[in-house]
Structure 1
């Protein structure tokens, strides 16, 4: 047990940004559980990257929206962060990992909300959609999932890429929402971050055992 605890602690220390962010999400999720449903929705809406809030407080909501989970289930994100974010941070380093997260989160938000604003202007979406709740960390996660394509050796890389494009692209073919568009844009942003990984460590072979270490 002592060895297992040391291994877990070493893994956490190797990706400090990931686990600090995850810790913040734990605290904010607990806070949401102590709010009434009505107050929670209004509270989150003020921290949401919807059109209304983006037009008034763009920087504030772009930051605060990434500190809350809409839905209140923290444990699945703990798993996803450990599998994807932690691996990306260990490989790229904290600064480059943050660049990928930030680029995916900001660009996907602005593009998807811009598309929604256009739909409202053309009468394809109701005006009330300008206040739609839009918080969470899924855009940054999608960008990191995509950039990890470059961490995997060929031919496994192409199978992983195909799976990523299928998971995030398929919803666009079946009644897409602005969130679906944002997720796919995040994937494209992650793939466009290849210049950040060119000088990093060797790519990983899925057949190798153990966690991939930093470059």
Structure 2
């Protein structure tokens, strides 16, 4: 049992290191007073103010905090179902590339929507200082790229369900976070080039499959 558990963790190291960091930051956040926790999370948030002053720092740091520390067990389950599956399939480096592209791309698009909303007086100026942290954009991006892991014809049902799930909130007065989630899924779908199918040689064949005629 211990060896099987160790093998399980070893085959998706990035996922479990990320979870371990989230466990530490969640414990830290849970031990702070509400005012101090709010102060801390504002300074690791990818809101307009922090992105303008410390863009690299907050884009990195925001992925290691969750706004509700008590939700850690839920995220642990989702990480095992989504991130660990994708990391074992893609490999750690390519999985991390998908996560980073989705997290950064969706953050920038969603905050640009906030900027336009404030400029056009459709959103309150306080959103420029809002708390915007978490792992959901990277998670949504991986959900998107996993469409290529689902065999046909089930892939189309999976894809339709994912797009419907993330598009519905945007079309029904969704928040900037909903826009970010949909953007992240679309970024994940654009990552086909990182999948094993795309990396495989065109002339490769399954074991036992006869060679094409000369």
TM-score, normalization by structure 2: 0.90
- Matched with 2:212 is none
**Structure whose CA Rg is larger:** 2
> Which of residues 44, 48, 51 is equivalent to 2:45?
48
- Matched with 1:31 is 28
SS of residue matched to 1:74: helix
> Which of residues 48, 52, 55 is equivalent to 1:58?
55
- 1:111 paired with 2:109, answer yes
- Greater shift, 53-62 or 166-175, is seen at 166-175
Distance in 1 separating the partners of 2:13 and 2:6: 11
- Matched with 1:151 is 149
Distance in 2 separating the partners of 1:159 and 1:30: 39
- Greater shift, 166-175 or 89-98, is seen at 166-175
SS of residue matched to 1:82: helix
Distance in 2 separating the partners of 1:185 and 1:30: 30
Return the offset for 1:184.
0.1
Return the offset for 1:61.
0.2
- Matched with 1:19 is 16
- Matched with 1:122 is 120
Distance in 2 separating the partners of 1:13 and 1:120: 46
Distance in 2 separating the partners of 1:37 and 1:9: 37
- Matched with 2:183 is 185
Listed one character per residue, the Cα deviations across residues 64-119 of structure 1 (whole Å, up to 9, x for unaligned) are 00010111120011111101101111111111001000000000000110111011
SS of residue matched to 1:120: helix
Return the offset for 1:163.
1.4
Return the offset for 1:42.
1.1
- Matched with 1:199 is 199
Return the offset for 1:170.
1.1
Gaps of 5+ in 2: 201-214
Gaps of 5+ in 1: 201-215
TM-score, normalization by structure 1: 0.90
Root-mean-square deviation (CA, aligned residues, Å) is 1.2
Q: Detail structure 1 runs of 4+ shifted over 3 Å in the superposition.
A: none
Return the offset for 1:152.
1.0
- Matched with 2:205 is none
